[in-house]
Amino acid sequence: MGDPQLPGQLRRAVSGLPIEPALPELLAALAAGSAAVLQAPPGAGKTTRVPLALLDQPWLAGKRLIMLEPRRLAARAAARRMADTLGETVGGTVGYRIRLDSKVGSKTRIEVVTEGILTRMIQDDPGLDGVGAVLFDEFHERSLNADLGLALCLEAQAGLRPDLRLLVMSATLDGGPVARLMGEAPIVSSQGRAWPVDIHWAERPAGRFEDALTALVLTALAEQPEGDLLVFLPGQGEIRRVRERLADRRPDLLLAPLYGALSQAEQDLALLPQPGRRKVVLATAIAETSLTIEGVRTVVDGGRMRLPRFDPNGGMSRLVTLPVSKAAAEQRRGRAGRLGP
């Protein structure tokens, strides 16, 4: 039940992650039983470290591991980071499947998939032949597809695959009810982020929201002279307007939007290091979970998010802007303190 077969320097690189001390207990739980729940705060390293730690387990020999991610961007990013850790490219030991895009190969052992993909996989193959474990990452987001995926996996485990391991991972979810649903599965807890994070509160904006956020970003840039910034905004309109304001005030900055409708190349501009220029990433809630944006030292949270809500009068869903939940705010804070203080 040791570490996967990583090269020595890579094993040392990941050994400092907060999740590391919890791995022996987690591996023992999955070796002894068919399910477990992992509670690990943002920044612990669960998304990219746990699948790699499971690779050399005897019960997974000759089988694949499927990890569910709620967003396409997070699925691609998690696969790329694990492949980098192994010194490989995506499509080797680690791959991903998302809507309209797939990078897997004959040697792929870890597949990161989105919720709809997992549902279709189970519908096509109810026994999940060749799959040794299914991991549900960021389960606290609680979408219909994720709940359905877990229900179908539990059904497959009970009727066809008693050897199938199921692991639910979350940063903010109360693990008790999920553990009971999974047959009193053991709950394993991990420590939090790798580096301390200081929190500074701003006054409630009196004027236009975009003006207030722009001022906050400029203040943060001045007070923290090193590192990139990640700014959370409700939607594309706010991102565009804040970007325009910042471009007028600070033309030296690299301003990178990040939201779901962007192309992969545009998203990569926000996610990957850009040497030589200080970067400000202007993101929607898409950047809340399972992402490590290299270089980010400061997070500015606008405190708002846009969510679909059903309108009974109109008979259809519409997007409404709401204050972020406490759990979402904690996730956003967790984007800092991952690679440095």
pLDDT above 50: residue 9? no
Domains contained in the chain, number: 2
Confidence of residue 38 (pLDDT cuts 50, 70, 90): very high
Confidence of residue 339 (pLDDT cuts 50, 70, 90): low
Do 97 and 139 sit in the same domain of this protein? yes
284 within domain boundaries: yes
Using alpha carbons only, give the angle 36, 20, 68 rounded to the nearest 5 degrees.
Answer: 45
Which two three-digit tokens encode residue 318?
A: 């519409």
> Comparing 64 with 10, which gets the higher pLDDT?
64
User: Is the separation of the CB atoms in 327 and 172 below 8 Å?
Assistant: yes
For helices 46-54 and 23-32, the axis angle rounded to 10 degrees is: 50
Q: State pTM to two decimals.
A: 0.78
Do 49 and 173 sit in the same domain of this protein? yes
Exposure string for 293-313, b = 16+ CB within 10 A, e = fewer: bebbbbbbbbbbbbeeeeeee
Tokens 């499509």: give the residue.
91
Tokens 């500074």: give the residue.
200
Identify the top-confidence range among 185-194, 259-268, 330-339.
Answer: 259-268
The rounded percent of the chain whose pLDDT value lies above 90 is: 55
Do 29 and 77 sit in the same domain of this protein? yes
202 within domain boundaries: no
- The mean per-residue pLDDT over the stretch 123-145 comes to 89
Do 179 and 241 sit in the same domain of this protein? no
305 within domain boundaries: yes
Average pLDDT, the chain: 87
103 within domain boundaries: yes
- The mean per-residue pLDDT over the stretch 209-223 comes to 94
Do 308 and 183 sit in the same domain of this protein? no
320 within domain boundaries: yes
196 within domain boundaries: no
Q: Using one digit for the tens of pLDDT, what is the confidence trace for 94-129?
A: 999 998 889 999 999 999 999 889 999 999 999 999
pLDDT of residue 12: 42
pLDDT of residue 307: 82
Do 29 and 168 sit in the same domain of this protein? yes
Domain boundary pick from 189, 221, 236: 189
pLDDT above 50: residue 8? no
pLDDT of residue 338: 59
Domain boundary pick from 161, 189, 217: 189
198 within domain boundaries: no
In CATH, what number is assigned to the domain containing residue 153? Answer: 3.40.50.300
CA distance between the termini of the chain: 32
- The mean per-residue pLDDT over the stretch 35-49 comes to 89
Do 219 and 182 sit in the same domain of this protein? no
Domain boundary pick from 189, 223, 246: 189
Q: Using one digit for the tens of pLDDT, what is the confidence trace for 294-323?
A: 888 899 999 898 887 877 888 888 888 888
1 within domain boundaries: no
Sheet of 165-170, strands arranged across: 101-103, 94-98, 110-114, 64-69, 131-136, 165-170, 35-39, 187-189
pLDDT above 50: residue 10? no
Residue span of the structural domain in which 217 resides = 209-333
Distance, CA of 23 to CA of 50 (rounded, Å):
7
287, 280, 196: which is closest to 245 by C-alpha? 280
Distance, CA of 110 to CA of 113 (rounded, Å):
10
- The mean per-residue pLDDT over the stretch 67-87 comes to 92
Confidence of residue 143 (pLDDT cuts 50, 70, 90): confident
User: Is the separation of the CB atoms in 289 and 44 below 8 Å?
Assistant: no
User: Is the separation of the CB atoms in 126 and 154 below 8 Å?
Assistant: no
